[in-house]
Chain A
């Protein structure tokens, strides 16, 4: 039940940087010797039961491997903070762990997919050219700031980086039945900052026809491209491409961008290609009171029978994208790119304030 997914660990204070060890950035692949020493120093500084630092054999980037007593494990690539593997225990067998995340090999040997963070700063230029957003995480070197674990059922790693006047923390936690990714942004400057952010997860499904999402009934949605992300499998342009109707006569046509419709089905089947944001429309949010959007939804995979619940905390919108017919370009499994986001209306972080938001992937399959 929910008690097992309650965070028992405190989020480490961001001021604790005594033993911050800089992980090599993904930009320049390090030499094997350099990686070995970095991983070794990380292991010495932070390694403990349930947390190992290894150099990823494929790309060479240092990766943290978190594991808990029941066999669930999570791999976190330290260079760019991408969760490349999450294998929770979902069956009551000895080896009952199953990979939840979908990854594909990227062009330069890296990996795309998994669960990653997108954080952009929106700055409106005075000359009226409109808001431009720049990614805060490009080229940012994530450093391991702190780890925490209770040695049995929970492990937590905090990565941090500082970009200008913003102190950004990314905390990844693994529990027996869930995993949580949280972002904390502190504004140490003197001017307010506007951010758009998303946590995008690529979740794997057995077959295209058995993929659905439950829990979004009554929520307004509109077509919207995903935020641009280096780790994204589908680029924003690809995600918005309309698919040929082909054999699908069922279901209404996908609304144009900017047109809001309300989800009418209990189960949103995701056979066709969609790229949607489920949220309360920004105009609605200005009213005195408005109906809030659901805070969680469950993915359904009819063929494996497993469901995973995605919970959004601190974010305002839920982004949902399915590749439809394009999925076979990216591996043989169907996948969804989904996750909570604050992308329609930027979040304002005033000087001295902090903004926190998190996504939790949990399951009741056991």
Chain B
């Protein structure tokens, strides 16, 4: 489902995958996203995806549950999302949370329903426009899966004129439609993140 994305830690974490070599000089390999729900067959893949490489850590290797068909016929179609927090965990690994949602909704709704921090310090009453498209505080960065989102609206183009092209307003971007399936990696609060994404 697309290439695995590389995450550069500004801390310069450098080590080899945990299974192979002694611990790195910089970080340890505690993995808090052990809960990706990737079933037992993907355990090995999951371990690799948390191995740190020289100046790069693979943040998410979502490895499609099965190569071609998304899911079984009984399960209703849904989009899998991985949300990455702007702050890394104390050991340098990314703080990722997984959610799954029906397509067709705005990304803002998916994030608020899943209790994912969208607004950061602007979460309080009246500090954001609650989806009106006027305040520009619901910025997210789309790391992977941007083809699943609706195209940028004029409002977004205006507000995000000076920002990187991967940034979107979550209240304006719709995640696919009712039958969409797929995976996306979203970076929360990109203005506050301390790591970099390499493609």
Q: State A292–B11 Cα separation when bound (angstroms).
A: 26
Q: Are B115 and A218 in contact (CB under 8 A)?
A: yes
Query: Do A313 and B90 have beta carbons less than 8 Å apart?
Result: yes
Q: Which stretch from B30-38, B146-154, B171-179 is at the chain A interface? A: B30-38
> Taking chain B's interface residues, is the majority helix, strand, or loop, or is none over half, making it mixed?
loop
Which residues, 321 to 357 on A, are CB-close (under 8 Å) to B? 353-354, 356-357
- Which B residues lie within 8 Å of A144 (CB)? none
Asked whether B120 is an interface residue with its Cβ less than 8 Å from the other chain, the reply is no
Contacts A/B (CB < 8 Å), 6 sampled: A2-B88, A7-B28, A8-B26, A288-B71, A288-B75, A289-B38
Within 8 Å by CB of A313, from B32, B71, B100, lies: B32
Q: Would A7 and B36 count as touching, CB distance under 8 A? A: no
Q: Say how far A162's CB is from chain B's closest CB, in angstroms.
A: 18
Stretch in B91-99, B126-134, B135-143, B156-164 with 4+ CB within 8 Å of A: B91-99
Q: Which residues of B contact A293 (CB under 8 A)?
A: 35
Contact with B along A283-296 (1 / 0, CB 8 A): 01111111111110
Within 8 A of A (CB), among B1-46: 11, 18-19, 22-39
Instruction: Confirm or deny: A362 has a beta carbon within 8 angstroms of a beta carbon on chain B.
Output: yes
Cβ A285 vs Cβ B35 within 8 A? yes
- B66-107 residues with Cβ-Cβ distance < 8 A to A are 71, 75, 80, 87-93, 95-100
Question: Most chain-B Cβ atoms within 10 A of its Cβ — which of A2, A315, A353?
Answer: A2
**Cα separation A112 to B139 with both chains bound (whole Å):** 47
Q: A6-B92, A314-B31 are in contact. List 7 more A-B contacts (CB 8 A).
A: A6-B11, A7-B90, A10-B23, A290-B98, A294-B115, A354-B18, A356-B29
| Alpha-carbon separation in the docked complex, A8 to B9 (Å) | 13
* Contact A313–B23 (Cβ < 8 Å): no
CB-CB under 8 A from A3, the residues of chain B are: 11, 194
How many residues of A are in contact with the other chain, CB < 8 A? 41
Chain B interface bracket (under 10, 10 to 19, 20 to 34, 35 or more): 35 or more
Tell me, yes or no, whether A85 is within 8 Å of chain B by CB: no
Q: How far is the CA of A242 from the CA of B25 in the complex (A)?
A: 48
The answer to whether B22 and A13 have CB atoms under 8 Å apart is yes
Q: Is the CB–CB distance between A285 and B25 below 8 Å?
A: no
Closest 9 A-B residue pairs measured CB to CB? Answer: A313-B30, A218-B115, A314-B30, A290-B37, A292-B35, A289-B37, A2-B87, A10-B25, A360-B90
The residues of B that contact A218 with a CB separation of less than 8 Å are: 114-115
What CA separation (Å) do A285 and B91 show in the bound complex?
24
Contact check, B99 vs A295: say whether CB atoms are below 8 A apart: no
Q: Is A280 an interface residue (CB 8 A)?
A: yes
The answer to whether A288 touches B37 (Cβ under 8 A) is yes
**Residues in A whose Cβ lies below 8 Å from that of B34:** 314, 316
* Contact in complex: A291, B91 (CB < 8 Å): no
A180 CB within 8 Å of chain B:
yes
